[in-house]
């Protein structure tokens, strides 16, 4: 049974989450603050964490950082904070997804299932081959093929693509991508990302203007949907 840790100080929301999760056969622990959440996470080893940022004792971003010090458990942020910089801070700290309150319970449950599924799907793959309906990426040979033909990628395009495809379904922030691909000094050059993502879409997507795989999350970053 999948174990979910709900970290939320609103009793009514906690009750709604627990009822909905248990009805779908999840095992649920609930923590009203950050300190309790960290204790539960260490003792109970959840499979996924639903985390509010506005906790009474520790800011949710600091809880994320503390968890990321020792676990890769999927973390879905639930927050009323809608500013893009708040979202980016949480994602840069290590959150896997961000759901803004108020939210649809169906959407939240779908995102939770996707997070758990990505964790379950992670398995050693010697070929490190990422395949979609329209193209494949061989991470060992550093080779991309679309419709049976090799796709020539520049080193920068390859580096960017590699980060995205090795984190399927996860939102990767602009700041992280800029730092990893171009260096810390270029972390504010979001235009670089727009240009290179457009190039990757032209080379890999069937319809670059309506991408199916290389998805933009406006104001936050990019996601590879395999």
User: Residue 109 has what pLDDT?
Assistant: 93
Q: What is the pLDDT of residues 9-42, one digit of tens each?
A: 999 999 999 999 999 999 999 999 999 999 999 8
Mean pLDDT of 174-203: 84
CATH 1.10.10.10 domain range(s) in the chain: 129-224
Backbone angles phi, psi at 215, to 5 degrees: -100, 135
Mean pLDDT of 38-64: 92
Mean pLDDT of 32-58: 93
**Nearest of 21, 91, 102, 7 to residue 49 by alpha carbon:** 7
Band the pLDDT of 184: cuts 50, 70, 90: low
pLDDT, averaged across the chain: 88
DSSP character for 186?
G
What lies within 8 Å, CB to CB, of 150 at 6+ separation is 143, 144
Q: What is the pLDDT of residues 120-172, one digit of tens each?
A: 655 444 447 889 999 999 988 889 999 989 999 998 999 899 989 988 888 88
**Nearest of 198, 29, 72 to residue 190 by alpha carbon:** 198
Backbone angles phi, psi at 151, to 5 degrees: -110, 125
What lies within 8 Å, CB to CB, of 211 at 6+ separation is 201, 205
For 53, 195, 215, 218, the CA distances from 154, given in Å and listed in that order, are 39, 13, 20, 25
Q: Strand 135-138 vs strand 129-131: parallel, antiparallel, or unpaired?
A: antiparallel
Mean pLDDT of 93-115: 91
User: Residue 120 has what pLDDT?
Assistant: 67
The fold adopted by the segment(s) 129-224 is Arc Repressor Mutant, subunit A (1.10.10)
Query: Can you read off the two tokens belonging to residue 203?
Result: 């080379």
The fold adopted by the segment(s) 3-121 is Rossmann fold (3.40.50)
CATH 3.40.50.2300 domain range(s) in the chain: 3-121
């Amino acid at each position: 049974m999948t174990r979910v840790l709900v970290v939320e100080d609103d009793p009514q929301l906690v009750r709604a989450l627990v009822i909905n999760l248990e009805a779908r056969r999840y095992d649920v622990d609930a923590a009203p603050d950050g300190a309790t959440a960290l204790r539960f996470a260490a003792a109970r080893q959840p499979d996924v964490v639903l985390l509010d940022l506005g906790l009474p004792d520790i800011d949710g971003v600091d809880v994320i950082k503390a968890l990321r010090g020792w676990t890769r458990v999927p973390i879905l942020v639930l927050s009323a904070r809608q500013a893009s910089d708040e979202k980016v801070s949480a994602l840069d700290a290590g959150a896997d997804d961000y759901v803004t309150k108020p939210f649809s319970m169906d959407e939240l449950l779908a995102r939770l299932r996707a997070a758990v599924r990505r964790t379950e799907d992670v398995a050693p793959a010697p070929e490190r081959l990422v395949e979609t309906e329209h193209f494949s990426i061989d991470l060992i040979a550093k080779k991309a093929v679309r419709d049976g033909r090799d796709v020539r990628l520049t080193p920068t395009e390859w580096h960017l693509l590699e980060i995205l495809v090795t984190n399927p379904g996860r939102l990767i922030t602009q700041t992280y991508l800029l730092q990893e691909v171009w260096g810390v000094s270029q972390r504010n050059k979001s235009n670089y990302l727009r240009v290179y993502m457009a190039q990757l879409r032209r080379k890999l997507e069937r319809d670059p203007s309506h991408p199916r795989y290389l998805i933009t999350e406006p104001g936050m970053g990019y996601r590879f949907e395999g």
